[in-house]
Amino acid sequence: MDKNTRICIIGGGPAGLTAGMYLEQKGYENYTILERLDRVGGKCWSPHYNGKRYEMGAIMGVPSYYAVHDVEEFCGITHDGPKLNRNYKDKNGNVIEPFEPKKNILKIPRLLKMKKQMKKFGELLETKYKGYDLNGHRGVAEGRYDGYAVTPGRERVQGENENLKDLALPFAEFCKKNGVELVQDIWIGPFTAFGYGYFDEIPAAYVLKYLDFQTCMNFVKVNLWTWEQGTQYIWECLNAKLKNPARLGSTIEKVERKDGKVYVTVNGAVEEYDKIIVTAPLYIPNKRADGQVGMVDYFDAREDEKALFSKIDYERYDVLAVETKPEDHPEISYYVFDNMVPQRLGRLMVYYRRWKETKDQIITTYALRKHKKSQEIPYEECRQMVLDDLQTMHNPASNVVNEWSVYYFPHVFSDDYAAGWYDKVEAMQDKYDTFYAGEIMAFGDMDETAEYSRELIDRFF
pLDDT above 80 (res 217): yes
What is the pTM (predicted TM-score) of this model?
0.96
Closest by CA position to 45, among listed 231, 281, 317: 231
Rg from Cα positions in the chain: 22
* pLDDT tens by residue, 17-36: 999 999 999 999 999 999 99
Neighbouring-strand partners of residue 49 = 52
* pLDDT tens by residue, 165-207: 999 999 999 999 999 999 999 999 999 999 999 999 999 999 9
- CB neighbours of residue 154 within 10 Å: 19
Please, which pLDDT band fits residue 414 given cuts at 50, 70 and 90?
Answer: very high
CATH topology of domain 7-43+66-75+229-312+412-460: FAD/NAD(P)-binding domain (3.50.50)
Q: Which residue ranges does the chain devote to CATH 3.50.50.60?
A: 7-43+66-75+229-312+412-460
- Which CATH number fits the domain 107-220, given the four candidates 1.10.3720.10, 3.40.50.2300, 3.30.930.10, 1.10.405.20? 1.10.405.20
- CB neighbours of residue 327 within 10 Å: 6
**Maximum Cα–Cα distance across the chain:** 71
pLDDT at 151: 83
* pLDDT tens by residue, 113-161: 999 999 999 999 999 999 999 999 999 999 999 998 888 889 999 999 9
pLDDT at 72: 98
* pLDDT tens by residue, 61-79: 999 999 999 999 999 999 9
Q: Which residue ranges does the chain devote to CATH 1.10.405.20?
A: 107-220
Question: What average pLDDT does this structure show over 388-404?
Answer: 98
Please, which pLDDT band fits residue 104 given cuts at 50, 70 and 90?
Answer: confident
pLDDT above 80 (res 455): yes
